[in-house]
Structure 1
Amino acid sequence: MNIDLRRIVFAIAALTFISGLIQMLAPSFVLSMVGGTINPTSSHLFAIIGMFMLFFGGLMVHGVCIHSHTVVFWAGLQKFGAAIAVYIGVQNDLFSWLALLIAAFDLCSALLYWYYMSKIRYWKESP
């Protein structure tokens, strides 16, 4: 097994967990960083998004530990969906262009997760 790939994917999952926790606990802080409008509704919704980032990050940490193809697939979908959602937010002037860095990171993470998923299958089938 390629330990470096596994460690990178694990680090991304842990970062997703930690950033989700921060976003859940301090949504206005994160909104201000991405140029979003801060009001009770946007803060509440951003905290909910943070909660799901926390859940998917934790799930992916677990998925890496148990080599779960299914977990990695769904976590990759979450990252891909997040990339699209942030991109649409920038296009609709909800976030500053700096949020595109987040979208690019999430898109690259999704692709890396799915590459890792293909390697899990290979590693399980190898003698």
Structure 2
Amino acid sequence: MNDAFLRLCLIAIAAITVISGAAQMIAGQTVMAIIATSATPTEVHLFATIGMFMVITGAMFLQSLLTRSPESAIPLWIAVQKLAAAILVAMAFANGYFRWLALGVAGFDALSAALAFLFWQRMPR
């Protein structure tokens, strides 16, 4: 995968992260009805809080990609965050908190982590 295509993929991933995080914040009840097995007011609020962090980290990653920031810590920690998210969503599914559709979210986050790690490895240091 060449660097330009990798950057383009990561720009799309960062934008999707912002949009999906905003959806969690704005329509958490609806999103949870699709992927979760329950949606109490506390769970919806915590889901919205996670969405807020997705908007912020996704926007930071998007800005760093669009401006071609040389800061290698950003893709590294985005990769770590995406890997942790993939693991935790898969664990939530295994524990019966999320429906099977959440495995698609976990897979997307795992792929995002792999691409962000690859991008980070290719950055000059």
What's the C-alpha RMSD, in Å, of the aligned pairs? 1.4
Which structure 1 segments of 5+ residues have no match? Answer: none
1:79 and 1:109 in contact (8 A); partners too: yes
| Structure 1 segments (4+ residues) deviating >6 Å | none
- 2:84 counterpart (77, 81, 84): 81
Cα deviations across residues 8-49 of structure 1 (Å, max 9, x unaligned)? 111101110111011111111111111331110110000001
TM-superposed deviation, 1:68: 2.4
Once residues 47 and 59 of structure 1 are traced to their aligned partners in structure 2, the CA distance between those partners, rounded to angstroms, is 18
Q: Which residue of 1 aligns with 2:30?
A: 29
Q: Which residue of 2 aligns with 1:58?
A: 59
Work out whether 1:71 is the aligned partner of 2:87.
Answer: no
TM-score by length of 1: 0.90
1:72 and 1:114 in contact (8 A); partners too: yes
Once residues 109 and 30 of structure 1 are traced to their aligned partners in structure 2, the CA distance between those partners, rounded to angstroms, is 21
TM-score by length of 2: 0.91
Work out whether 1:114 is the aligned partner of 2:114.
Answer: no
Count of aligned residue pairs for this structure pair = 122
1:31 and 1:38 in contact (8 A); partners too: yes
Identity fraction in percent: 37
1:56 and 1:78 in contact (8 A); partners too: no
Q: Which residue of 2 aligns with 1:11?
A: 12
Which structure 2 segments of 5+ residues have no match? Answer: none
User: Per the alignment, do residues 74 and 9 of structure 1 end up closer, same or farther by CA in structure 2, a change over 3 Å counting?
Assistant: same
Q: What amino acid sits opposite 2:18 in the alignment?
A: F
Once residues 76 and 67 of structure 1 are traced to their aligned partners in structure 2, the CA distance between those partners, rounded to angstroms, is 16
Q: What amino acid sits opposite 2:47 in the alignment?
A: F
Q: What amino acid sits opposite 2:33 in the alignment?
A: S
Q: Which residue of 1 aligns with 2:101?
A: 98
